[in-house]
Amino acid sequence: MKIFLYLLTGLLLFSGELYSQSYGLQFSSHEAIPEKRTSLNLTPEEPLCLNEDTQISFDLKFVPGLNAYFGYVIRIITTNNQNIDIVSVDKFGNFNFVIGESFSYAFKIDSSSLFCKWNHCEIRFDKILKEVNFFLDNRLVTKSKLNFNNATCCKVFFGTTNCKAISV
């Protein structure tokens, strides 16, 4: 038994590189028929209310070798019927951060990062400044004003959704 513990300890201490999880929720987008496209509703029962400073974060990595990479990464729809979206535009790492009809910001994730490592995305709602901030790998990419208050709630979706508006 003692030898087993020594071997296990030695293996753990001197094993070299350790790798993180290489998978997550894999999305099927426009390369699939509409019934097979991925949709994840994080708020199926009750909307998420923005009572305090709220942030939504996730990690993103694309699977290499697909024909199309177009579609919603995340869609947030508020009770004021304002949408906050991150949309993948193409296979070259181009994205749009969109708020309603009035704000859009294009950004790019380098292909070597997009296909080879997890990219940390974070959307922060600041109720004092009444703005939304988008961070990529802890760097501010863009920010915009958003009309919300303590009573504002939202639905959160990854991938495709048929939801156009919500009521609370």
Measured CA to CA in angstroms, residue 63 lies from 2, 4, 66, 153 at distances of 44, 39, 7, 32
pTM: 0.78
Residue 156: name the closest of 69, 78, 65 by CA.
78
Contacts of 70 (CB under 8 A, 6+ apart): 29, 30, 87, 88, 89, 90
The confidence score (pLDDT) of residue 10 equals 43
The per-residue pLDDT for range 125-149, each reduced to its tens digit, is 988 888 999 999 999 999 999 888 7
The confidence score (pLDDT) of residue 140 equals 97
Confidence at 98, pLDDT banded by 50, 70, 90: very high
d(C-alpha 136, C-alpha 131), whole Å: 17
More confident residue, 68 or 40: 40
| Helix or strand (DSSP H, E) at 13 | helix 2-13
Structural fold of domain 2-159: Jelly Rolls (2.60.120)
Sheet of 54-60, strand order: 54-60, 119-126, 131-136, 139-145
Mean model confidence pLDDT for the chain: 80
